[in-house]
Amino acid sequence: MRNRIIYLFALLYIFSGPAAAVPKIEHWETDNGARVYFIETHALPVVDVNLVFNAASVREPAEKQGLAMLTSNMLLEGSSGLDSQAIAEGFEDRGAEVGTSSLRDMAIVSLRCLSDKKYLEPVVEHLVKVITDPVFPEKNLAREKARSLTSLDHSLQQPNTVGSRQLYEKLFNGHPYANHPQGTHDSINSITRADLIDFYRQYYVASNMVIAIVGDLKLAQARSLAKKISMKFATGKPAAAIPEVSPVKGGEYRIDFPSTQSHVMTGYLGIKRNDPRYLALKVGNYSLGGGGFQSRMMDEIREKRGLSYGAYSYFLSMQQTGPFFASLATANDQAEEAFSVSKEVIKDYLKTGPTEKELELAKKNITGGFPLTIDSNKKLVQTLAAIGFYRLPDDYLDTYIERVNALDRIEVTEAMQSVLGSKNHVTVIVGAGQN
């Protein structure tokens, strides 16, 4: 009950007043090149910080796949004069939460702390000490590599993981996006402490960092906080531009796998995150496969034919062209039928796009659900970090609902056709009896 009351008050604060439908974004750059994005909220006495580095798997050599994730995972494992236990206690003793993660596009260090300066100042000092001076202890690295290999072995027992890895390899043939963030057995085994140090020194620098801050601070306090964080980082250089993604030759690939179900995955080359078609594609995909039981894929594949418990599609837009995926799982002996229906659903949808009813339903659900995507500091700081990392406009939140509502059927249909009309798509089917 208490959490629900806090949630309601937060919503009232964030969306109160006709002139302030969403929080205002402040944006500046520190003296050594870190880009800072800040939203002031006082609903809770908490500050959330995301440090986002252009230091993910797209930056690692193909023979060192897994390097970015290992580097990220090792940041909290040791600093000069501090072992992993001392690092953890430095946060926990002051009620702070810290974490690291690494994806294909970005590596993130997250912090949540009370805004009272008697807690915030020592926590930030501790964070900066740890993140700017990691020592990557050999013993901890050996343990982390062993854990990574165990995790990889487990994931490769899942047909959806096997299919997804193959799909990325074929769809992004030769491009860094084909790298697997988890790595491979050979690549993980080959990674050394020196590799982590070199990767860290190149990419964990101020000019390659976005600082997102949300919480109970005034602008002057946020500026001071950002300065304290960034000034300890080497200035460095921004990461080089990622190569453009080249079209690939379409095809179907089948993997025999001892599973009770076959996983059918189709991938297209989609869009960059800053593509002007982004919202049109989001609206269009809601009706196709992104809207759960309100989407055509779910209706045709599950509801009408009972071929799968779930069928869905989504865009994953990144710095360069990301993928569009359509996916389902079905009984092995129904794989061909389910695949055929999936293809027909996409083909039929592209002829005319969404109906007026589907369009309005999609827009209503997307705009109605928008407040829930930023209804807490934690969600808001993640959204703000993405705005900064992908260099989206500062009025992105202010204009979001208006831009969605302004879309019409022609614009949505043409956007979907421009991506899914390509014949250069890749399908991977993983399951028993696939040869």
Backbone CA torsion sign across 337, 339, 340, 342: positive
Q: At what angle do helices 409-420 and 335-352 cross, to 10 degrees?
A: 140
55 within 8 A of 208, measured Cβ to Cβ? yes
Which whole number is the average pLDDT over 4-21? Answer: 40
Q: Does residue 149 carry a pLDDT above 60?
A: yes
Same domain, yes or no: 205 and 280: no
240 in a structural domain: no
In a domain, 181, yes or no: yes
Do 259 and 187 lie in a common domain? no
What crossing angle do the helices spanning 356-373 and 396-405 adopt, rounded to 10°?
Answer: 160
pLDDT, averaged across the chain: 93
| Helix/strand/coil for 248 | coil
Q: Assess contact for 177 and 104: CB atoms under 8 A.
A: yes
Are 184 and 267 part of one and the same domain? no
Are the CB atoms for 47 and 213 separated by under 8 Å?
yes
pLDDT band at residue 17 using 50, 70 and 90 as cut-offs? very low
User: Does 385 reside within a domain?
Assistant: yes
Distance of CA 342 to the CA centre of its chain: 26
Report how far apart, in Å, the C-alpha atoms of 221 and of each of 36, 39, 113, 231, 419 are: 13, 12, 14, 15, 44
> What average pLDDT does this structure show over 120-131?
96
Q: Which two tokens stand for residue 176?
A: 């860094």
Looking at the structure, tell me whether residues 203 and 351 fall in a common domain.
no
- Domain shared by 152 and 99, yes or no: yes
Residue 76 has pLDDT above 80, yes or no: yes
Supply the DSSP symbol for 31.
Answer: T
The residue among 22 and 193 whose pLDDT is bigger is 193
CA angle centred on 202, ends 199 and 203, rounded to 5°: 85
Q: What angle do CA 199, 317, 385 make, to 5 degrees?
A: 60
- Within a domain: residue 237? no
Tokens of 204: 């964990």
What's the confidence (pLDDT) of residue 18? 36
pTM summary value: 0.91
- The range of the structural domain enclosing residue 48 comes to 22-230
The residue from 230, 259, 278 where one domain ends is: 230
> Is 61 inside a domain boundary?
yes
Residues 6 or more apart whose Cβ sits within 8 Å of residue 400: 22, 279, 367, 370
Q: By the 8 A CB rule, do 311 and 296 touch?
A: no
Residue 6 is predicted with a pLDDT of 36
- pLDDT at position 82 over 60: yes
Statement to judge: residues 226 and 313 lie in one domain = no
Q: Are residues 188 and 297 in the same domain?
A: no
Query: Pairing between strand 209-215 and 35-40?
Result: parallel
Q: Is 157 found in the same domain as 29?
A: yes
- Whether residues 136 and 256 fall in one domain: no
Q: Does residue 303 share a domain with residue 264?
A: yes
Neighbours of 273 (CB within 10 A): 21
- How many structural domains is the chain composed of? 2
pLDDT band at 399 (very low <50, low <70, confident <90, very high): very high
Are residues 353 and 221 located together in one domain of the fold?
Answer: no
Band (199; pLDDT cuts 50, 70, 90): very high
* pLDDT, tens digit (0-9, with 9 covering 90-100), for 348-398: 999 999 999 999 999 999 999 999 989 899 999 999 999 999 999 999 999
Q: What percent of the chain has pLDDT over 70?
A: 95
pLDDT band at residue 1, thresholds of 50, 70 and 90? Answer: very low
Phi, psi of 268 (to 5 degrees): -120, 155
Express as a percent the part of the chain with pLDDT over 90: 90
Average pLDDT (171-195) is 96
Question: In which order are the strands placed within the sheet that holds 209-215?
Answer: 26-29, 35-40, 209-215, 46-53, 107-114, 97-102
CATH of the domain at 166: 3.30.830.10
Directed axis angle between helix 278-285 and helix 396-405, to 10°? 50
Q: Are residues 186 and 89 in the same domain?
A: yes
Q: Is residue 13 part of a domain?
A: no
Looking at residue 4, what is its pLDDT? 41
Domain presence at residue 309: yes
46-63: pLDDT as tens digits: 999 999 999 999 999 999
Note whether residue 70 is domain-resident.
yes
* pLDDT at residue number 2: 36
